[in-house]
Amino acid sequence: MTETTTSTAPRTAGSGEPILQLRSVNKSFGPVHVLQDVDFEAHAGEVTALVGDNGAGKSTLVKCIGGTYAIDSGEYLFEGRDVKVHDPRDAAALGIEIVYQDLALCENLDIVGNMFLGRERLSGFKTLDENTMERLAGETLAGLSVRTVKSLRQQVSSLSGGQRQTVAIAKSVLWNSKVVILDEPTAALGVAQTAQVLELVRRLADRGHAVILISHNMRDVLEVSDRIAALYLGRMAAQVKRSDVTQTQIVELITAGRSGDLGLQPGTNGTNGNGHAAEGVNAAGGTGVLDALNAAEANKTDADAAPGESGADEASS
Amino acid sequence: MSSPVTENPTGTGTAAPGEQAAGTGAAGTLLAYGRNRLERARGGELGSAPAVIGLIVLVIFFAIVQNGFLSLYNIANLVTQAAPIIVLAMGLVFVLLLGEIDLSAGTASGVCAALMAVMIVRHNVAWYWSVVAAIVTGAVLGYVIGWLRAKARIPSFVVTLAAFLSFQGIVLMQVGKAGSVSLPDQAAKPIITLEGYNNNLMPLWLGWVMLAVVAGGYALVKLRIAVSKRAAGLESEPTLVTVAKTVLMLILGAVFVYLLGENRAIQQNAFFNNLKIEGIPWVVLLLIVLTVGLTFLLSRTRYGRHVYAVGGNDEASRRAGIRVDRIRISVFVLCSTLAAVAGVVQASQLESVASNFGAGNTLLLAVGAAVIGGTSLFGGRGRIMDAVWGGLVVAVIQNGMGDLIKGANSQAWQWIVTGLVLLLAAGFDATSRRVGRGDAR
């Protein structure tokens, strides 16, 4: 893992075997049943958007994937093999990298230093091999068509939010990762920077990584994703292809857990059955529902343009 | 954050900032280099520049107002005065890099020096074993402090304040009723007594060899890095800059070696008439070795990188798999170990260890030296050279002020001025930090 750096993970057909698959995963914290029989899959070469209201269990699911939390029950399949992930290091060893919302960069180090943090290259006499690191960092950024940074020796403190996000994402790619999880990568960015980062997300998938994108922003999700997984109160409401759903359906899945015949049907899957958990998370996510609805309203004007764009993306991927 | 486009100070109006093509010629790379440095300075990365400028201003000032400041005798004196401050400050740089503080470094040096003195004087242990014991003791004290900070999670301010007080008590106990332990005049020389007369100065030829090795080594290392960078197709420091720096170092070094090679004995009475004091104090060699070694540790090794990383963002470091607690303990170990070295140096200069050794303003001067040199109190920024430049500034102020104002208030003014300079440096630090983060508005 340490030898290969600029990862060119083999392209597999997007619709084939999922690289990462969770089957009926459960996770509780004391009495709170946060994840209930959640199924989830991510495919290489695709962007899978993980959406859901506040408290729906997105972060918990991601932390289970990343090994921060161990799952209580259920199956965790990676490349078709049953694996146990109890520690972030287990996930990293499999090739799963998480880019956190708060980025986890050291502002006082330069770009190269950050990209190789904790995994520095050494040359003879145990000294840092700065040249190799700088070259590899440069190649990785160039491979992702990142041209916004002037010098790799710039301190991260001098970078803009979008550039920092870019560095954080590029860092995750440097390690031959197969699955890259992005937690709200555009949350704090302006319009132009958001576009840049989304482009980068798309490129990651095109290069063969399985990308899992967590986002609150409907516009981002619609623009960049191939599949959408909607969590609702700790259950997987639906995991669908982007091309099969409309924005309204997604918003309904997020806010109500179902949309027409999609999603959790009352009675069959029994949203009543998890009443306790539902109340618990609902209280936390009360305002989030309104946010999502508002976002939906705001984005309605874009709804016409968006499918065309992402449709083209899909065709190319 | 984007500051208005200003004129490039390197001259020639042809190179407007933002111009893309970095010329392939020497002038082009020089311009690009200068622009890069300027941009860094604007971003708050001033490094030791303020300290160096301050040092030059202070030296000129004292040379004018105070007779004898630049006398041969006083120059040598300055260096030996600065040495313990610099060594102590080097240790503090590590602690400050993590955004921690070690208030006990001064009294820790007292404990170690007293231990050494007591072993030599009262137990007749060979001086070298005593020095080793002092340094090992420093490491152990540092480990305990670091453990209390990193594992028991007590803020370093409190841990080291407690240590500061108790160490003072330990020194009192070690030294005993006499009030001080005098080191034997001859037994410990020449290594312990890094400063002194007669046989504990470097031979003249060794001074020149040292200069050649340092300047040559500096140029070689820099050029080798530049060549390998260019071979890898990366940006590097222009050769001209390296050469200029080396030449400057050679000139200043040659002046220093030459001056200290002159006889600086103050022949005031017949008894000292044929006394010759010439050569560089051995402590200079110690300073050079420590500077080179610790700079290497901080800037070229994985450990050093991790120290900076933890100082910059400990959560990010933890996620990157760095063992943050170990790094945190290690800097306290380094700090106290270097404090022990500083104690040995100071004790050998004073040729005794008094019961208030390392107390008083020892620690403050060292912290001041590090901060004046450009090390941030907020963590994440600092270099070993900061301790050297800052230590020299502090020593010059102390030395120069000592005789500037005669009478009872001399000491008072010395303290007040040192305090103000420290405040100024800390203010600089805080401001440049805000500028660097882009929220100086």
Q: What does the pLDDT look like over B376-426, one tens digit per residue?
A: 998 999 999 999 999 999 999 888 887 676 666 777 787 788 788 888 888
CB contact at 8 A, A133 and A120: yes
Q: How close B201 comes to chain A (CA, Å)?
A: 34
Q: How far apart are the first and last CA of chain A?
A: 27
Distance, CA of A181 to CA of A48 (rounded, Å): 9
CATH 1.10.3470 corresponds to the domain B46-201+281-429: yes
Predicted complex ipTM: 0.80
Minimal Cα–Cα distance from A18 to chain B, Å? 27
pLDDT of residue A276: 40
pLDDT at A272 over 80: no
Residue carrying structure tokens 């921060």: A68
Who has greater pLDDT, B240 or B294? B294
CA distance B394 to chain A (A): 27
Cα separation, A313 vs A306, whole angstroms: 11
Among A1, A2, A101, A117, the strongest candidate for a mutation testing the B interface, having the largest count of B CBs within 10 A, is A117
Which residues, other chains included, contact A16 with Cβ-Cβ below 8 Å and sequence gap of 6+? A43
Instruction: List the single residue in A with minimal CA-CA distance to B323.
Output: A118
Average pLDDT over residues A240-267: 82
On the question of pLDDT at A166 being above 60, the answer is yes
Residue A187, min C-alpha distance to chain B (Å): 19
Asked if A112 is an interface residue toward chain B (Cβ–Cβ < 8 A), one would say no
Task: Spell out which residues of chain A touch residue B306, defining contact as CB-CB under 8 Å.
Answer: 118
In this complex, do B322 and A118 lie within 8 Å of one another by their Cβ atoms? yes
The residue extents of the domains of chain B are 46-201+281-429
Alpha-carbon distance A46 to A159, whole Å? Answer: 29
Q: What b/e string do you get for B138-159 counting C-beta neighbours within 10 Å, with b at 16 or more?
A: bbebbbebbbbbbeeeeebeeb
Average pLDDT over residues B357-380: 90
User: Which residues in chain B have their CB less than 8 angstroms from residue A117's CB?
Assistant: 305, 309, 316-317, 320, 322
Percent of chain B with pLDDT over 70: 84
| Best of B319, B432, B435 to mutate (most A CBs within 10 Å, chain A) | B319
Q: What is the pLDDT of residues A50-106, one digit of tens each?
A: 998 888 888 889 889 988 888 899 999 999 889 988 888 888 888 898 888 776 789
Q: What does the pLDDT look like over B148-176, one tens digit per residue?
A: 999 999 999 999 999 999 999 999 999 98
**Of A267-276, B285-294, B415-424, which range is least confident?**
A267-276
CA dihedral sign, ordered A292, A293, A299, A300: positive
Residue B343: predicted pLDDT: 94
Q: B47 contacts in A (CB within 8 Å)? A: none
CA B181 to chain A, closest CA, distance in angstroms equals: 43
Q: Do B232 and A155 touch (CB under 8 A)?
A: no
A56 and A284 in contact (C-beta within 8 Å)? no
Q: Give pLDDT, residue A43.
A: 92
**Residues 117-156 (B) with a CB less than 8 A from some CB of A:** none
Contact map slice: A 140-169 vs B, CB within 8 A: 151, 153, 155, 157-158
Task: Of A206, A204, A201, give the one whose Cα is nearest residue A183.
Answer: A201
Give the pLDDT of residue B406.
66
d(CA A18, CA A228): 14
Decide if A4 touches B, using CB distance below 8 A. Answer: no
Look at residue B426 and give its three-state secondary structure: helix
Q: Which of A44-48, A196-200, B25-29, B90-94 has the lowest mean pLDDT?
A: B25-29
**A288 confidence band (pLDDT: 50, 70, 90):** very low
Closest-approach residue (CA) in chain A for B301: A127
Whether residue B37 lies within 8 A of chain A, CB to CB, comes out as no
Cβ contacts from A onto B, under 8 A: 83
Residue B45 has pLDDT above 90, yes or no: no
Quick one: pLDDT at residue B271?
Answer: 58
Question: Which strand (E) or helix (H) includes residue A239?
Answer: strand A235-241
* B194/B27: higher pLDDT: B27
Residues B308, A113: C-beta atoms closer than 8 Å: yes
B234 contact residues in A (CB cutoff 8 A): 131, 134-135
- Give A153's contacts in chain B (Cβ within 8 Å): 235
B20 touches chain A (CB under 8 A): no
Q: Does A265 have pLDDT greater than 50?
A: yes
Please name the residue of chain A whose CA is at the shortest distance from the CA of residue B232: A131
| Residues, chain B | 441
- B234 closest CB neighbour out of A102, A108, A134: A134
Which residue type sits at B201? Answer: L
- Tell which phi-psi region holds residue B155, choosing left (phi > 0), alpha (psi between -120 and 50) or beta: beta
Taking only the tens place, the pLDDT of each residue in A95-143 is: 898 888 776 789 899 999 999 988 888 987 788 988 889 988 988 888 8
pLDDT at A50: 92
Has residue A283 got a pLDDT over 70? Answer: no
Surface of B (232-291) touching A: CB under 8 A = 232-235
Contact A118 B300 (CB under 8 A): no
Q: Is A1 a residue whose pLDDT tops 50?
A: no
Q: How confident is the model at residue B350 (pLDDT cuts 50, 70, 90)?
A: confident
Nearest CA in chain A to B230: A131
Which residues on A lie below 8 Å from B311 (Cβ)? 108
- How far is Cα of residue B67 from the mean position of the Cα atoms in its chain? 27
CB contacts of A108 in chain B (<8 Å) are: 308, 311-312, 380-381
Q: What is the pTM of this model?
A: 0.81
CB under 8 Å to B41, separation ≥6 — which residues? B49
- Which residues in chain B (189-228) have CB-CB distances under 8 A to chain A? 228
Residue B27 has pLDDT above 80, yes or no: no
pLDDT of amino acid B441: 35
For A160, the closest chain B residue by CA position comes to B1
User: What pLDDT sits at residue B142?
Assistant: 97
Output the pLDDT for position B9.
39
Residue B208 has pLDDT above 80, yes or no: yes
Chain centroid to CA A63: how far? Answer: 11
Q: Between the CA of residue A113 and those of A159, A166, A301, what are the distances in Å?
A: 14, 15, 43
A contacts of B300 (beta carbons < 8 Å): 127-128
Strands (E), B264-409: 352-354
Is some CB atom of chain B closer than 8 A to the CB atom of A11? no
